[in-house]
């Protein structure tokens, strides 16, 4: 029997024969996971964290984040704490639709003007066939085409309503492609599939007076920090080495919310990095500038998100995230994701501009090191305090401090 034909339990036994040590998983959980993917042998769990102080568009939100990296949650929390003191984040999501692409091979007798004339009829036909999507406020919005030699490239804009819409878009595209093959001069369909090209653009911005950038409200010191943050941001617009690291930090927060809400992290990552190069060179997705005696932060992200469909309703771990969020529309979720991205970016650039980013990272990493010690909770706390106060990190330092404590 081939591996994919085995039950999850049989696969686990097969791996055990080769020395694999798998974590215990409840049988009902394993069965549910097996319905979701292929060759399932277990599960990987992530901590589910929650931001409680996020003010976006005048409303306070509780935002779930799924990540194993404590610094990501801490950074978002810090960013939002500063934002909230200044009225929070203003965000807007433009949800015109997602793109789908059809490519057809055509012959010498093909007429593009004649083909274009049929687009209104194709739109009506598709929306009749997929009337359930239209009933939810979505549907096929427009079709455009360009011809390059014997290839015809069609771009369809599909409004997925409150869903991310990949499966529905693919179904619409296949339906259209099948009908279009009957057009004069069309030879064969090469493919019909969703494109992850940037769409559903969401923008978020925040304005921070200089005084709010310091704990004591020192305006002069705040202005100094703001100028350095603006300079770092400018470097991210011109230097690709800084830009890609800046954007990675942004996506830390984005991916954590997407993972918690059952959205497609890979699609958003691909679209975001394509958007970062829209002007011909790779740039930061965010910008920080000095305007009117304050620091102004802006970010724009292509966020094709959904709050229904896919695995959202079938996964209990995802449903709990929506119980945290409350009833929410896809546009609101996109606003929250962009705001988290801005908060994470603020925290990173602010740290670089002040105390440096490594100190916070090392403090959080020390927790993981100490947690692995074979020690009592009291001993772990004492070791953690010694490591952070003396700025000595790593497994070796932890063991040395534990030995010293026990020697006393």
Query: What is the full per-residue pLDDT of the chain (408 aa) written as tens digits?
Result: 899 999 999 999 999 999 999 999 999 999 999 998 999 999 999 999 999 999 999 999 999 999 999 999 999 999 999 999 999 999 999 999 999 999 999 999 999 999 999 999 999 999 999 999 999 999 999 999 999 999 999 999 999 999 998 999 999 999 999 999 999 999 999 999 999 999 999 999 999 999 999 999 999 999 999 999 999 999 999 999 999 999 999 999 999 999 999 999 999 999 999 999 999 999 999 999 999 999 999 999 999 999 998 778 888 899 999 999 999 999 999 999 999 999 999 999 999 988 755 555 566 677 778 877 888 888 888 888 887 777 777 788 888 888 888 887
Task: Tell me whether residue 264 is one of the annotated catalytic residues.
Answer: yes
* CA 393, 399, 402, 404 torsion-angle sign: negative
Tokens standing for residue 113: 């003007």
Instruction: Answer yes or no: do 285 and 345 share one domain.
Output: yes
Per-residue model confidence (pLDDT) at position 369: 83
Q: Is 69 a catalytic residue?
A: yes
**Predicted local distance difference test score (pLDDT) of residue 364:** 62
Domain that includes residue 379, residue range: 361-407
Are 92 and 337 in contact by the 8 Å Cβ rule? The answer is: no
| 81 and 157 part of one domain | no
In a domain, 41, yes or no: no
Q: Which of 162, 255, 264, 332 is catalytic?
A: 264
Q: Where are the alpha helices (DSSP H) in 261-329?
A: 265-276, 316-325
Q: Does 383 lie in the same domain as 248? A: no
At 77, which CATH number?
Answer: 3.90.770.10
The domain total for the chain is 4
C-beta of residue 258 within 8 angstroms of C-beta of residue 266: no
Catalytic-role residue among 13, 361, 392, 399: 361
List 14, 43, 69, 224, catalytic entry: 69
**Residue position matching structure tokens 């690709």:** 240
pTM (2 decimals)?
0.87
In contact, 100 and 155? CB cutoff 8 Å = yes
State whether 209 and 307 are in the same domain: yes
Residue 196: what pLDDT? 95
Residue 266: the pLDDT is 96
Asked whether the beta carbons of 124 and 134 are under 8 A apart, the reply is no
> What SS3 class is residue 145?
strand
d(CA 73, CA 252): 9
Domain CATH for 155: 3.30.70.420
pLDDT of residue 396: 85
CA–CA separation, 305 and 234 (whole Å): 29
Whether residues 312 and 228 share a domain: the answer is yes
Residues 28 and 8 in one domain: yes
pLDDT value, residue 207: 98
pLDDT number for residue 359? 58
- Return the bridge partners of 296, or none: 207, 289
Q: Verify that 213 and 352 share a domain, yes or no.
A: yes
Tokens 């970062």 — which residue?
Answer: 276
Find the catalytic residue in 59, 187, 248, 391.
Answer: 248
Neighbour count for residue 190 (Cβ, 10 Å) = 13
175, 194, 213: which is the final residue of a domain?
Answer: 194
Regarding whether 403 and 262 lie in a shared domain, the answer is no
53 and 68 assigned to the same domain: yes
């Amino acid at each position: 029997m081939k591996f994919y034909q085995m039950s999850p339990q049989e696969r686990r036994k097969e791996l055990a024969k080769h020395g694999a040590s798998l974590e215990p998983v409840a049988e009902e959980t394993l069965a549910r996971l097996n319905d979701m993917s292929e060759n399932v042998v277990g599960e990987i769990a992530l901590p589910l964290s929650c931001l409680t102080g996020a003010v976006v568009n005048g409303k306070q939100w509780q935002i779930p984040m799924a990540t194993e990296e404590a610094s990501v949650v801490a950074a978002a929390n810090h960013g939002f704490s500063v934002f909230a003191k200044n009225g929070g984040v203003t965000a807007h999501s433009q949800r015109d639709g997602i793109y789908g692409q059809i490519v057809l091979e055509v012959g010498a007798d093909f007429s593009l003007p004649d083909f274009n004339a049929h687009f209104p009829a194709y739109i009506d036909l598709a929306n009749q066939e997929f009337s359930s999507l239209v009933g939810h406020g979505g549907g096929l919005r427009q079709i455009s085409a360009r011809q390059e030699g014997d290839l015809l490239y069609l771009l369809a804009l599909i409004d997925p309503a409150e869903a991310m819409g990949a499966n529905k878009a693919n179904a619409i595209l296949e339906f259209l492609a099948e009908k279009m093959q009957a057009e004069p001069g069309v030879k064969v369909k090469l493919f019909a599939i969703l494109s992850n090209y940037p769409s559903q653009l969401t923008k978020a911005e925040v304005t921070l007076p200089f005084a709010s950038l310091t704990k004591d409200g020192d305006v002069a010191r705040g202005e100094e920090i703001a100028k350095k943050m603006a300079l770092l941001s400018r470097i991210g617009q011109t230097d690709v080495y800084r830009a890609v690291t800046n954007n990675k930090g942004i996506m830390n927060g984005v991916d954590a919310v997407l993972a918690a809400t059952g959205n497609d992290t890979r699609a958003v990552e691909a679209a975001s990095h394509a958007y970062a190069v829209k002007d011909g060179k790779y740039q930061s997705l965010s910008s920080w500038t000095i305007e009117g005696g304050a620091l102004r932060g802006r970010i724009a992200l292509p966020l094709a998100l959904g709050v229904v469909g896919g695995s959202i309703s079938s996964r209990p771990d995802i449903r709990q995230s929506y119980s945290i969020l409350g009833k929410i529309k896809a546009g609101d979720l996109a606003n929250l994701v962009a705001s988290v991205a801005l908060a994470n970016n603020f925290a990173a650039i602010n740290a670089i501009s002040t105390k440096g980013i490594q100190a916070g990272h090392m403090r959080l990493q020390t927790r993981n090191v100490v947690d692995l010690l074979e020690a009592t909770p009291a001993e772990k706390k004492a070791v953690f305090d010694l490591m952070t106060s003396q700025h000595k990190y790593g497994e070796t330092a932890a063991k040395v401090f534990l030995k010293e404590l026990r020697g006393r």
